[in-house]
Amino acid sequence: MFPATAMYNPALKSFRALQVLLLSLCFACTPAEQELPKVMAVSVSVNGRRADNGSVGDIPADGASIEVEFTSEVNLEAGEGQVVFSGGEVRAAYGRDKSVVVFTPVSRLDDFRRYVFTLPAGEHFGVNLLEQASAVFSTQYDQSDKFERIPDDELLTLVQRQTFKYFWDYAHPVSGLARERLGSGETVTTGGSGFGIMCLPVGVERGFVTRAEAADRLRTIVQFLGGKAQRFHGVYSHWLNGTTGAVIPFSTNDNGADLVETAFLIEGLLAAAGYCDKPEEADIRSGIDEIWRAVEWDWFTRGGQNVLYWHWSPDKDWAMNMHVSGWNEALMVYWLALRSPTHPVSAEVFRSGWARGGGILNGRKFYDITLPAGSDYGGPMFFAHYSFMGLNPMGNGDEFVTSYWEQNVAHAKINHAYCAANPKKHAGYSAWCWGLTASDIPDGYAASSPTSDKGVIAPTAALASMPYTPTESMDALRTFYYVYGDRLWGEYGFYDAFSLDAAWFAKSCIAIDQGPIVVMIENYRTSLLWDCFAKYFSL
């Protein structure tokens, strides 16, 4: 694919002409070939948008226009060329001059379909094209409602109920823990299970399951974690086998303790313990208390350093060598480590390790919103979710970030403002369709953010921000459900992510993305999990 631009660039065109001249000297040509001028494509665009950097999206199905600019004039009367277009026949006409050809489909294209246009190398329009020119684009999504409109309160409950099923119906049958993602079989996730555990009180309070059913599920989980599940200095691995409790390596060197994932698991367990205040649930509380007390947070200072380390392996030791440091998703690690009744760390570990002596602060403005801490534009939205599913950011802070609430609200508003501004012109981005965070993407998995924008929207980013941006998040929820729900909504709530640029909707659900939707919507509605987590520490 050639560099493409919607603007005419004489300098680029001159450079291309020189390039063609040099290539002409290098090519061994027959006399017949020498009779045709040799050209290259200066640009390829679709409806005036660049087509050299991935797929272009949101093109009207009845108004697609592919423009190719060549390094010199062509002659349409010499033949229509050998265009290959997945949408059928195209008409060719001159653009602003005879070096530009505009191709338009003869028939209306289908809605929300990916199309490929190619002009192969060879003879076209009285010239010899030295390299092929191509473009990939997708047509617009039908923006009409796919489901009947219901009151917002009912919609919130529907989303919570459907998403809750991931942790209830799809939980591992032996351990009760959350499977990593759809199709992960025996692989359960410790951090994602912590989020799933926090969904259980929501399920009871919303009437999805009975209190007795939730208590039995918690007993299964607590007994598995306290018995079968492998631990290292009280810390669990990122992944476990849901039947045997053995470690499933996350990577070659990450085959032992994961302090961050364990912190999310403990966060969920302590919130559940705060909820289980009935006499008949005393065994659940005591089992959780034993697991909590067994975590040797101080051991992960690696011999008394003023920082906590993320990983340790029984055969690779500290090979991962990752600090838990700076403003990210892992504040819960330090929050728990400072309050451990058995293995606490000192305040200096927090100051030097997590806060970097104040280096954690930001203070700059983005879209006229001041961001107190963290990287520019705030990073992926899960930074504002994972540690704050249990920890209420309202009224909490530290000597550096004095208000976690102000930090998270600013982060969410910046993320929303970026998608509304849509500087990269991604299809679908708007004030009503927003949210960049870690998720599946068309060719893998990535932590998306305003500074690493993959053109992919993940519903969890906006929905789990409901406490911080209730109006903007509710707008996004309506869009995800009513407009895109025919492809985005499934058995366990919303699928993980989608890209209108690539005409792609994930068919995956991931525990760490599903859990925050249920929990943070509930914290917005009733502060249930915030209250339960705080209650444990007040006992």
Hey, is 476 helix, strand or coil? helix
Among 411, 294, 313, 298, residue whose Cα is nearest residue 353: 298
> Which of 267, 268, 272, 266 is closest to 291 using CA atoms?
266
Name the β-bridge partners of 258: 311
State the Cα–Cα distance between residues 341 and 333, nearest whole angstrom: 14
Residue type present at position 238: H
d(CA 219, CA 284): 6
The confidence score (pLDDT) of residue 189 equals: 98
248-to-185, 191, 240, 301 alpha-carbon distances in Å: 12, 14, 5, 24
Q: What is the pLDDT of residue 28?
A: 45
- Give me the pLDDT at residue 292, please: 98
Distance, CA of 164 to CA of 518 (rounded, Å): 7
Spatial contact of 396 and 533, defined as CB atoms under 8 Å apart: no
pLDDT of residue 16: 52
For the chain, the helix, strand and coil percentages under 3-state DSSP, each to the nearest 5: 40, 20, 40
CA distance between the termini of the chain = 64
What is the structure's pLDDT at 34? 54
Alpha helix segments (H runs only) across 441-502:
459-463, 470-478, 485-488
Token pair for 221: 């989980």
User: Which pairs count as long-range contacts for 244-247, CB under 8 Å and 24+ apart, including other chains?
Assistant: 245/175
- Of 263, 261, 246, whose CA–CA distance to 314 is shortest? 246
Q: For residue 59, give the 3-state DSSP assignment.
A: strand
Q: Work out the angle between the directed axes of helices 331-339 and 259-275 (0-180°, nearest 10).
A: 60
CA 7 vs CA 361, 420, 517: distances in Å: 41, 24, 43
- Separation between Cα atoms, residue 527 and residue 535, nearest integer Å: 12
pLDDT (tens place) for every residue of the chain, 539 residues total: 333 333 334 444 444 554 544 444 444 444 444 578 999 999 999 999 888 666 788 999 999 999 999 999 999 998 767 899 999 999 999 999 999 999 999 999 999 999 999 999 999 899 999 999 999 999 999 999 999 999 999 999 999 999 999 999 999 999 999 999 999 999 999 999 999 999 999 999 999 999 999 999 999 999 999 999 999 999 999 999 999 999 999 999 999 999 999 999 999 999 999 999 999 999 999 999 999 999 999 999 999 999 999 999 999 999 999 999 999 999 999 999 999 999 999 999 999 999 999 999 999 999 999 999 999 999 999 999 999 999 999 999 999 999 999 999 999 999 999 999 999 999 999 999 999 999 999 999 999 999 999 999 999 999 999 999 999 999 999 999 999 999 999 999 999 999 999 999 999 999 999 999 999 999 999 999 999 999 999 87
Phi–psi pair at 134, nearest 5 degrees: -150, 160
Which residue(s) pair with 492 in the sheet? none
